[in-house]
Structure 1
Amino acid sequence: MIDKLKNILGIGKKADTSTNEIEVPASKIGPKTYVIIGASAAGVDAVKTLRKLDKNVNIVVISKDENIYSRCMLHHVISEHRTVEGINFVDADFMEKNNAAWIKKATVTSIDTENKAVKYEKDGKTEEQKYDKLLIASGANAAIPPIKNIREGKNIYPLRNIEDAIAIREKAKHCKKVAIIGGGLVGIDALSGLLEIDGIEEISIMMMENRILDKQLDEKAASVYADKFKAKGVNIITSCNIGEVFLDEEGNVSGVNVNGEKLDCELLIVSTGVKPNIALIEGSGIEAGRGIIINDKCETNVKDVYAAGDVTGTGIWPLATKQGIVAASNMAGVEKFLTDRFEFKNTMNFMGIPTVSLGFTTPADDSYDVVTYEYGDTYKKAVIKDDVLTGFIVQGDISYAGPYAQLVKNKVKVENLAEKVFDLGYSDFFSIKEDGQFEWNV
């Protein structure tokens, strides 16, 4: 469709039909050109939404990646339980099916909002792509802490991109000792993947916090995972001071200074958070704080420029996809608002133990009611303020987590909640309409 259109108008050039990479200049004549920077959750849902709403619009995706994949599943690539194709969350021919031009392995260097042009580097050349409307869904980069030698050393990796997962996997196959800095979700993901690799004799994970997964879990729920990892031989070092990284004569990592002592390792994984990839908006006039600032229509302060996903400072997949859909809808002229910004939900399953964490699971002060429940392998914790559930953890049997997610997200007040919080079920919050459909009655 795009090639036919370009031949008729006599514009643009075809870069490589085998990879569906086409540059389509924005034009006053014919269909508009919508450019999307990024091919992850927000960008992919934006493509689907735009194509659904407008069959004729030109869609151009520019991304550093040459594959579409779930970052949440990168540890399965480390363990070799899945291939790169196995963590793709859309069909392999997704771009072709949606008639979208995909410029792969390209790095956006700047955005000229006055002339509506995106500049990018590909294969050592600087190119320019015009747009009528632009969606920035460039995601986030790994945040590397200011530790001596951590940036310069070899065999030191974050776990953010598919290239990181592959490099970690290949190096780990030839290592005896591996270390991880950071005990959050990404660090534990990396740990889970490494445990599946034969030949590693020692895995250490270190953190400044007093427990693993401290942002998601309380001490009780975190200790269940910690005990399972320790039983596998993992060395968990909490509340520690992490100093410089030691390098050998060839620049390879040889260890980490932990509490003044050297912890030997041949491979170091750094999982200390992420930061929105906003370098590309420098000088564009697009406003940013922690990430690009957007309103409820996912619009930036610059006309015809939108943003969605991690680049806005949000951090969970469901919210990124919602933002992608909202942004694309408004780009296509269908007014839509982001009504749900809830991002404090984490679902995990390590060592065969499923857990769901909702809201703020650590009470801010003594004015909160904290109620817990334990039976067999199931543990529940509710944090309540004035009959409103502000945080909830369930580990083990997570079958009724749904209603609690609604209570936390919508800040629903339930009279005498602390007395009956663990006796609630779907029937307490659903009613049946005349046509037989279920609906929330809260």
Structure 2
Amino acid sequence: MKQHTILNDFIKYASLNVLGMIGLSCYILADTFFISKGLGADGLTALNLAIPVYSFIHGSGLMIGMGGGTRYSILKSQNRQKDMNQVFTNAAVAFLLPALFFFCAGLFFSAPLTHLLGANETVFEMTQTYLRVILFFAPAFMLNNLLLCFVRNDGAPQLSMLAMLMGSFSNILLDYIFIFPCKMGIFGAVLATGFAPLISILILSTFFFQKKNHFHLEKCRISPGLIRHICSDGLPSLITELSSGIVIIIFNMIILNLQGNTGVAAYGIIANISLVVISVYTGIAQGIQPILSSSYGKGDRTAVHSILRYALITMLAISVLVYLGIFFGAGQITAIFNSEKNVLLQQTAVKGLVIYFTACVFAGFNIILSVYFTSTEFARPAHVISLLRGFFVIIPMAFLLSYLFGMTGVWLAFPVTELLVSILGGILFFRHNRS
């Protein structure tokens, strides 16, 4: 009976969050599709040059949301109401500074940032427009992530999923309206993306109006130590998103030297499809976080291990299906985004998809294992996994393999990195399990 309950909780939380994360990832995929149709390869290049900034914003919000949500779930399982409210209040304060930083960056530094990201004269204006607007909406993106994590950890994964899906669907609809009937170009695409978290926040606000929440802001001491603890628990989420942005920047620079704007456009297709696939693994990981943390707070090791096992089996099945779909459908997938029927773009992206996505199962394992460690307040291995796969292995691999094998080496950098880190992650897990 207990195993049946654990399995039901896993299915409920993981499935709802996977659906929500797929919806959330469609923010950018919708931009990719509509920009490719409305603005061609130059539009795709501008989007791919600007997209790392979105990763930084999203990651900052997730760091505070996931870190605060993890601590909140553990305290909730122990019925410590006052401490629960203090965690939420400190998390709300912690989000203000980075939100203000991103907003000011959009206001004053969008042009230097566009130069820094490598935009040339052809795509400079489009890239700057996307950057400026996405940075203006940074406070909304971050607040949305904070609320999503706390609402999910407060026992309302259905509402969290609904908010993510409705935000994404509104983005897709507005993308079409702004780019085609209104002819607003890339400004319309990024404006549609910026409206999405506002709609999600409106839906989440019903949780508070109906007074279903067990957390609220209260007058209490703002504790630098607690904020550090929240940020430490959420750091792997930030590193994952931050590294995604930095890796895109590095790959763009390498590819610009190897194949120019067409190569960057091809990578844009691959990177944005990768965002959707990674969002599935992130959805599983974030979905199990509340029940992992709650079980850990109660001292139930059996439940913790069962939840992890279910997550890894689900990830493996999804990885097989994803790669089969990519392997046999790479040409059709690329054609969807190749509105100009550019032969070089088609060939480059098809080859890249087949090689790049061999990383699926290893990436899924690393993401789930990292969240397992943070959910059980054992953050150091999670930090190691995140830093290695995000910075210290993939960046040297990208330079080394691209030097040795050209564009093929660029595509190989991601799977080789995830494989090496998954081996180390497995060793850390078994050592932790024995201790």
Q: Same fold (TM over 0.5)?
A: no
Q: Which has the greater radius of gyration? A: 1
Normalized per residue, the structure richer in helix is: 2
Q: TM-score, normalised by structure 2?
A: 0.25
The higher-RCO structure (CA 8 Å, 6+ apart) is 2
Q: TM-score, normalised by structure 1?
A: 0.25
